[in-house]
Amino acid sequence: MTQHYTSELALFINGSWRSGEGRETLAVLNPVHGGAIADLPVATPADLEEALAAAGEGFRAWRAVDVDTRAGILRKAASLMRERAETIAVLLTIEQGKPKAEALGEVMGAASFFDFYAEEAKRAYGRVLVRPTGQRAMVLKQPVGPVAVFTPWNFPAYMLAKKLAPALAAGCSVIAKPAEECPASTSAMIRCLADAGVPANVLQMVYGVPDMISRTLIASPVIRKISFTGSTAVGKHLMRLAAEDVKRITMELGGHAPVLVFDDVDLDKTLDMLVAQKFRNAGQVCVAPTRFYVQERIYAAFLEGFAARAGALKVGDGLEAGVQMGPLANPRRPAALASLIGDATAQGGRLLAGGQAYGEGFFFQPTLLADVPDTAAIMNTEPFGPVAVTRPFATLEEAIAGANRVPFGLAAFAFTNDLRTANLAGDALEAGMVGINSFAISVADAPFGGVKQSGFGSEGGSEGLDSYMVTKAIHQA
Ligand code: NAD
């Protein structure tokens, strides 16, 4: 397969694409072979100043654009994303590694956010309070202002859409800093928005040294809100920066999703679903099923069925037909996984499938660990890779206690055919999203966000629009 880009990479500031002109560059790697495939220009302090000035002006103009016009532009952007989905998906696979079918699904999912928020923007209602004296109070929703959004490399198109669609719908201007690992797919998404008619100064995209960019943007008085998706460690750092000037923040941070599998399920059907979800995007998913708590009676059969399915997955170059799992996205992941697996087996965990990095790129075998003790690092640190860890349980209470013992709470899942068990698990699992016999928990029309150290604030649904608005009460005699 050919693994190269056809387009030059650039920053997008005040309506123009910027590269060269003495800017330093970062190498973009192809995860299949690990080699450099493109040079990404790094934003200079002057670039950021210009982006900030444009975002300030862009906000003043965009907030005044009527909502039907804004909605029309977002709908047009969604349709351009669908028209160009095949091309964007190929770029995404080349730079990120996921199978092309997954990349295509990601772009389509991204487009759905623009369609949803084109409609939701029309429902940013306020209310009027009428006093017996004739005095009135008007409660208004207004766009918060220019926002800085930071998105990760695991779903470069989808994560960008989850932030840009509600922000633009609300009337905010945006400076986006997508992950440096996957710039071609995110640039292609930005191009759809620009071609759809988002005015030049409303949307800027910069890449560079993440710490320099986030410090500059968060400290600027122009920026009124920060939205970040990524690790809890970086999230805490950005929260400290935002606290300095009391800036609003939405934090979508790491998870460590538990899956409770009760012994009343159809095991074959459930295993097919669990294995497909575990190894989707090579496990680099914040809501990926990770800690599998399996009821004792079916534990042995579960391990056997899971290991067989994991071992049979076709792993390879995501552009090749039939490949079910690609390489990991960057060289940090195989190294981190090897260390977590080594620690788990040293503490008594049994390795039942995979366990090894291989190939010249960033490939890692689909891996299953059984009987991993709670003291193992992998039971407490998000593996963010193709590794499933399992533990048997006897009772619902024991399973819930295991599931809730980590300080994260993004997603949790339960598989059962018993209604009472489903209700009890749904109520007791400490997570922002619970999937009962389902993994369909990230959609445009429902809120998505964590509890505990998985963050706060919602993306998706009416809550997602609300997070880019401020509430004002005007009292009038
Ligand atoms: P990392 O913690 O260095 O980076 C995480 C993300 O934050 C990246 O997209 C990175 O570009 C960005 N980032 C890093 N420093 C930043 C800064 N100072 N300002 C702004 N953005 C910054 O680690 P990583 O190796 O890229 O990923 C490691 C872990 O991050 C994973 O194991 C996983 O737990 C988590 N992660 C979570 C998500 C998610 O969807 N919630 C996505 C990607 C990574």
CA of 329 from ligand 1 middle (Å) equals 12
- Report the chain's terminal Cα–Cα distance, integer Å: 71
pLDDT tens for the chain, 477 residues: list them: 545 676 689 999 999 999 999 999 999 999 999 999 999 999 999 999 999 999 999 999 999 999 999 999 999 999 999 999 999 999 999 999 999 999 999 999 999 999 999 999 999 999 999 999 999 999 999 999 999 999 999 999 999 999 999 999 999 999 999 999 999 999 999 999 999 999 999 999 999 999 999 999 999 999 999 999 999 999 999 999 999 999 999 999 999 999 999 999 999 999 999 999 999 999 999 999 999 999 999 999 999 999 999 999 999 999 999 999 999 999 999 999 999 999 999 999 999 999 999 999 999 999 999 999 999 999 999 999 999 999 999 999 999 999 999 999 999 999 999 999 999 999 999 999 999 999 999 999 999 999 999 999 999 999 999 999 999 999 999
Q: Which residues are catalytic?
A: 252, 286
Instruction: Return the residue whose CA atom lies nearest to atom 18 of ligand 1.
Output: 211
Please name the residues in contact with 52: beta carbons below 8 A apart, sequence gap of 6 or more: 146, 175, 217, 220, 222, 223
Query: Is the CB of residue 315 less than 8 Å from the CB of residue 306?
Result: no
CA of 231 from ligand 1 middle (Å) equals 5
> Which atom of ligand 1 is nearest the CA belonging to 336?
32
Tell me the three state secondary structure of residue 140.
strand
Instruction: Return the residue whose CA atom lies nearest to atom 40 of ligand 1.
Output: 286
Choosing from 231, 287, 408, 448 the residue with most ligand 1 atoms within 8 A of its CB, the one to mutate for a pocket test is 231
What is the C-alpha separation between 147 and 214, in angstroms, rounded?
12
Please name the residues in contact with 180: beta carbons below 8 A apart, sequence gap of 6 or more: 26, 28, 40, 153, 207, 208, 210
Per-residue pLDDT of 285-342, as tens digits, reads 999 999 999 999 999 999 999 999 999 999 999 999 999 999 999 999 999 999 999 9
Fold held by 2-253+454-476? Aldehyde Dehydrogenase; Chain A, domain 1 (3.40.605)
Query: Is the CB of residue 442 less than 8 Å from the CB of residue 229?
Result: no
Domain boundaries, the chain: 2-253+454-476, 257-443
Which residues lie with the beta carbon below 6 Å from any ligand 1 atom?
150, 152-154, 179, 210-211, 214, 229-231, 233-234, 237-238, 252-254, 286, 332, 382, 384
> Which atom of ligand 1 is nearest the CA belonging to 330?
25
Query: Is the CB of residue 180 less than 8 Å from the CB of residue 152?
Result: no
DSSP letter for each residue of 230-284? S-HHHHHHHHHHHHHTT-EEEEE----EEEEE-TTS-HHHHHHHHHHHHTGGGG-
Per-residue pLDDT of 144-203, as tens digits, reads 999 999 999 999 999 999 999 999 999 999 999 999 999 999 999 999 999 999 999 999
> Which atom of ligand 1 is nearest the CA belonging to 333?
25
What is the C-alpha separation between 236 and 230, in angstroms, rounded?
10
Burial group, residue 27, by CB count within 10 angstroms (0-12, 13-18, 19+): exposed
Per-residue pLDDT of 385-409, as tens digits, reads 999 999 999 999 999 999 999 999 9
What would be the CATH architecture of the domain defined by 257-443?
3-Layer(aba) Sandwich (3.40)
CA of 48 from ligand 1 middle (Å) equals 21
Tell me the three state secondary structure of residue 354.
coil
Query: Is the CB of residue 437 less than 8 Å from the CB of residue 264?
Result: no
Burial group, residue 322, by CB count within 10 angstroms (0-12, 13-18, 19+): exposed
What is the C-alpha separation between 201 and 210, in angstroms, rounded?
22
pLDDT of residue 3: 59
> Which atom of ligand 1 is nearest the CA belonging to 253?
41
- Bridge-partner residues for 436, per DSSP? 414
* Average model confidence (pLDDT) across the chain: 97
What is the C-alpha separation between 395 and 417, in angstroms, rounded?
16
Count of beta carbons in the 10 Å neighbourhood of residue 333: 24
- Bridge-partner residues for 25, per DSSP? 41
